[in-house]
Structure 1
Amino acid sequence: MSAIRWLTGMLIVVVLLTACLGEDLASPPDPYAPYRPALLEAFSSDFDRLSPLPRYDLELRLDVDTRHLEGSGTVIVSNTHTLPLSELYFRLYPNLSQYQGSIAIKEILVDGKMAAFGYTPDNTAIQVALTEPLPKGESVEVRYAWALDAPLIPAGYALFGESQGILSLPLSYPILAVSEMDTEGGRLKWHLETAPSFSDVAFTESALYQVRLIVDPDMTVITSGTVVSRTTTAEGMAAWQIVTGPIREFMLILSPRFEKASGKAYDTTVHSYFLPEDRLAGQRALAYAIAAVQVYNDRFGRYPFPELNIVEAPLENRGMEYPVVNLIGIDTYRERQEEQEFLIVHEIAHQWWYNLVGNDPVNRPWLDEGLAEYSAYIYFESVYGKEVAERIRHNRWEIPVAYARESGLDTVVGQSAFGFSPLNYEIMVYAKSALFFHALRQKMGDQAFFEWLQALVTDYRYQVLTPEAMLSEAERISGRDVQSVYERWILTAGHP
């Protein structure tokens, strides 16, 4: 009987101890839980394989009448380098002359303590001093507040600011600059280049975002993330709560006049936003976008985000890519509708070649632009057949490249944006690099070529791809030496 009592007592003790320690024995909280709604469930495991990414938690208060934004928030920065960090740099892209905006820092705290900071000479970045060196693998919390003013541009091309009833605010916050080890100097290099006005300006690495936006309730808001809630503040303003998966930068575009049409491309919902007077062109744009997502999913690999947006924007007949958002020039909804399909499929390709697989668009602009341009060839080949795609190759690429060679505009493709001029940038960076990828396809063969593209998306998703890594993958998969093709088309002027 005493043995039974002893066993019963021990069982009670075990139960009580388990109850007391249950909280300690439970699984640790999921650090990526807030961001998971912004990736398709099939890609949920991507969070577990991420290297430490910057994590932004931002609050934006936007007055649309004055185009003035008050922002505050935190950024968690981890040191992924072997050397300790003694300083951080944040880019202030709205201060670029081509953006015509203004962004000013109010205060900065590092781990809760006021920190010294200073502007670079051109005001497009700030340097933040760390009180103690940050070792490899350690993190620091940067808290900052800033004010931003965007311009009013009555007509014409307006990438940043308000024009024609649309307010576009890319990169409207201080964003961590890209840093990398300088292999020759054995020190850390921060990318603070001010790109030419005719090229893309932002070199950014993948990061995670939580954003709270306070704005006029009449505005239709399109962002780079997933809306998890929309509430009303005591003042009657709309409070949007937005989260993202791993993206290169956070984009915000809005208008009180936008209409929307939506459809599905596999598991992704595609939205087309347009002005009421351009409804028919906006619906046609949706059809093009859905077809592009389907083709690129099949050819390159699955798009991991639940949504993709194409937005009519005051960019004349041009376009611009941002994570989850593609801006399509207003003229292609009106007097230049024949250009709309190509522009849409080119910009959507950047969701694979820029947002998923990143590169340095200032120092290696040909890489993502050439891939996006050649992706359009793949789209037209898949949807309309080889003959249509070949006409595009000849008219859009071969003729301009031949003209550049005959007029003295031909140059080496594999250089930074600073090596080009407005006269030859698009011919070299878009057309000639697209011809390189076509020549590479001929060298590798179709099966190896498309297997290679899929491998790039799988292996370099959320990372930065270099030409060296790209070529190494091509040779590994095809078993062929592709260096000669690269040297002829990218490193040598005058070819073909």
Structure 2
Amino acid sequence: MKSLFWKRFWPVSVIALSAAFTVIIALPARWSLNTPVHGGQLTEVAQVMPAAIQLDTNWDDRSLYEPGMQPAFTHEIEALPAITQYHIAAELTLDQDAIVQGQQRLHYTNQSHDTLDRIVLRLYPNSPPLNNAGSLSVTNVRVREQPIAPLLSVDDTVLTIPLPEPLAPGEATTLSLNFETRIKQGEISRSFERLGYVQEVISGGSWYPAVSVYEARRGWWITPIISGEGDPTYNEVGLYDVQFTVPAELTLITNGVFVNQVEHDDGTVTYREVTGPVRSHVFVASDRYGTPETMAIDGVQIQVWPYQDAARSPAADEFALQATVDALGLFNERFTSYPYPELDVVQHPTFTGLEFSGLIYITEDEWNVEELPYLEEIIVHEVGHQWFYGLVGNNQVEYPWLDEGLATYVEILYQRHRFGESPLASTIRAVSDQLDAGMAEAIGLDPGIPLNLAVADYGEHYGLVAYYRGAAFLLALEDTLGPETVAAALRAYTQQFRYKVATVEDFQTVFEAVAEQDLTPLFQQWVGEYPPVDQPARQS
């Protein structure tokens, strides 16, 4: 996600200074889903439909996901034996709103050292940053085909599923459920347009029930999602096998690789897609898209999806394609290799940019020849997120600087590579100095504000701190260790935590190992204490 802090509040745009989840989304038959009972702090979900869903599933056969990876990286799927797999059967219909009705089956393995008595799913569309644009309801929950009465809590964003038998470390179980996601026409979510239906574009980020993250020492992640300033999700990687039925007039764009499609007599088309290990599944559907502009680099097919109507700017299309190619090529050299066969770049009603594994939204507002420098800045930032958030995950809600600060820092690396110097780095240093010199007092911000804060704790200064103070910390690490050591540490960090969830402690540990020195004073100065003092325990 790219912050618009500088675009809105700084005189000149910074870049302008330079020149297995398995998801099956498709049902040939229509059906209705029963709406769960909402209300109160803890709500039992209604269990009405008696029939268990029947989706052909062989959880041991990982070969079906191989099209979602470059051939050189298919072996990495087998190296993740405990990865969650999702099978989702769903259909998108358009009435006044966009409605996705689905059946979902998932295979979950307990990767913790604790015995679990429950599994927790997050229903992100019900969170305050997204619920103005949509909602997500769940019914007919089963564990190993046994009906279960789950409980809703935390603003209907936490679905707790009691297990009929304890799940020991290393053991696996299967869950199935029905769900309905409603995306309101004319609305787009407060959180960077992750979910919405405006300008004839249906945006499906975080549209399905997703397994929460089980953390050591804390248990299931059930933190309330309050602020719309940052990303409202936190996911581990999963494998997806997706069959999605949509009206035939819509172009469907997803972060999976299409392996089959079937046209139906009722005017719908079912697309089947698969992914490699990705943080989440996302789709965009609209009749405004046509054939993408494409270019290949390092075995990756870059696909740029511009509007195919009067809003199209062919020069901007070509520029966006080349900027994506340049950024992906550079970051492949600097970090661990991008493993997926495609990267989709979608012109979108978002007011900035937004990242998903294998797919990024780029604002239509900058998709024109007058705004090419800022278009480039947004694209580079979101491509950087393919590593920092995508391949290396983190808790974006509670520690957003760990991906946003790094994605801003890689903009500096890109500028140095292209232009020999980085105006962004100079600007960030200047702003950091101004904060220390008294600007902080003028805006009511502590110049020593720690990076290790949740999105909600930054308030209106989220963009300034998480993005630019985060990048300033990387520049401070350069000043202390040298750019070459920082480059080596980031390479080691992306390699060691590829497909994992990293913490601030992990980040420091890698940097200290590469630099061969204690960096505690510097981290305390910039980041603050972690884990947070008096952090409340969570249910396990």
> Which TM-score bucket, shorter chain as reference?
0.7 to 0.9
Question: May I ask how many residue pairs the two structures share in their alignment?
Answer: 459
TM superposition shift of 1:444: 2.1
Query: Partner residue of 1:196?
Result: 227
Counterpart for residue 52 of structure 2: none
Question: For 2:129, which of 95, 98, 104 is the aligned residue?
Answer: 98
After superposition, the Cα gap between the structure-2 partners of 1:283 and 1:165, relative to the gap in structure 1 and judged at 3 Å, is farther
1:363-394, CA deviations, whole angstroms, 9 ceiling, x for partnerless residues? 11110111100011001111111154544545
**Distance across 2 between alignment mates of 1:359 and 1:401:** 29
The residue number in structure 2 matching 1:363 is 398
Q: CA deviation at 1:284?
A: 1.4
Is this contact kept in 1: 2:88–2:243, CA < 8 A?
A: yes
- Once the two structures are TM-superposed, the CA of residue 357 in structure 1 deviates from its matched residue by 0.3
Letter in 2 for 1:436: F
CA separation of 1:333 and 1:396: change in aligned 2, threshold 3 A: farther
Match of 1:436 in 2: 473
Counterpart AA for 2:320: A
Does the C-alpha gap of structure 1 residues 34 and 191 become closer, same or farther in structure 2, counting only changes over 3 Å? same
- Mapped to 1, the partners of 2:436 and 2:304 lie a distance apart of 34
Q: Output the amino acid matched with 2:358.
A: V
Do residues 266 (structure 1) and 266 (structure 2) align? no
Q: Tell me what 2:383 maps to.
A: 348
Considering only aligned residues, what root-mean-square deviation do their CA atoms show, in Å? 2.2
For 1:459-491, what per-residue CA distance to the aligned partner results, in whole angstroms no more than 9, with x for missing partners?
110001111111111111121332222222222
CA distance in 2, matches of 1:481, 1:158: 41
Say whether 1:40 aligns with 2:70: yes
Q: Report what 2:149 is aligned to.
A: 116
Task: Give the deviation of 1:433 after TM superposition.
Answer: 0.8
Distance in 2 between residues matched to 1:449 and 1:289, nearest whole Å: 24
1:148 aligns with 2:181: yes
The answer on 1:69 being equivalent to 2:104 is no
1:31 paired to 2:61: yes
Which SS does the other structure have where 2:489 is aligned?
A: helix
Distance (whole Å) between structure 1 residues aligned to residue 59 and residue 203 of structure 2: 37
Structure 2 distance, partners of 1:307, 1:42, is 14
SS at match of 2:478: helix
Q: Does the residue aligned with 1:412 lie in a helix, a strand or coil?
A: coil
Q: Which has the larger radius of gyration?
A: 1
Return closer, same or farther for 1:87/1:291 CA change in 2, 3 Å cut-off: same
* Contact preservation (8 Å) 2:212, 2:220: no
* Residue in 1 that maps onto 2:496: 459
**Are residues 158 and 417 of structure 1, via their aligned partners in 2, closer, same or farther at CA, if it must alter by over 3 Å?**
closer
Match of 1:330 among 348, 354, 364: 364
CA distance in 2, matches of 1:488, 1:398: 15
Matched residue SS, 1:484: helix
1:307 maps onto 2:307 in alignment: no
* 1:284-310 superposed Cα distances (whole Å, 9 cap, x missing partner): 111111111011111112111100011
Is the counterpart of residue 57 in structure 1 residue 91 in structure 2?
no
Equivalences for residues 379-418 of structure 1 within 5 A: 379-394=414-429, 403-404=439-440, 406-410=442-446, 411-418=449-456
Structure 2 distance, partners of 1:143, 1:155, is 29
| Structure 2 counterpart SS, 1:287 | helix
- Please state which structure has a larger fraction of its residues in helix: 1
Q: 1:397 to 1:240 in 2, by over 3 A?
A: farther
> How far apart are the structure 2 equivalents of 1:80 and 1:182?
14
Contact 2:188-2:196 within 8 A present in 1 as well: no
- Aligned-partner Cα distance in 1 for 2:425–2:114: 50
Supply the distance in 2 between the matched residues of 1:278 and 1:143 (Cα, whole angstroms): 42
For 2:353, the equivalent position in structure 1 comes to 319
User: C-alpha displacement at 1:445, in angstroms?
Assistant: 2.0
- The amino acid that maps onto 2:124 is Y
Report deviation, 1:155.
Answer: 8.1
Equivalent position to 2:521, from 474, 484, 488: 484
- Aligned-partner SS, 2:459: coil
Residue 420, structure 1, aligned to residue 451, structure 2 = no
Deviations 1:175-209 (A, max 9, x none): 011112326xxxx3433431411121001101111
SS of the residue 2:106 aligns to: strand
For 1:195 and 1:225, the matched residues in 2 are separated by: 30
Task: Assess, with a 3 A threshold, how the Cα gap between structure 1 residues 107 and 192 changes in structure 2: closer, same or farther.
Answer: farther
List alignment gaps of at least 5 residues for structure 1: 1-27
Long gaps (5+) in structure 2: 1-57, 530-540
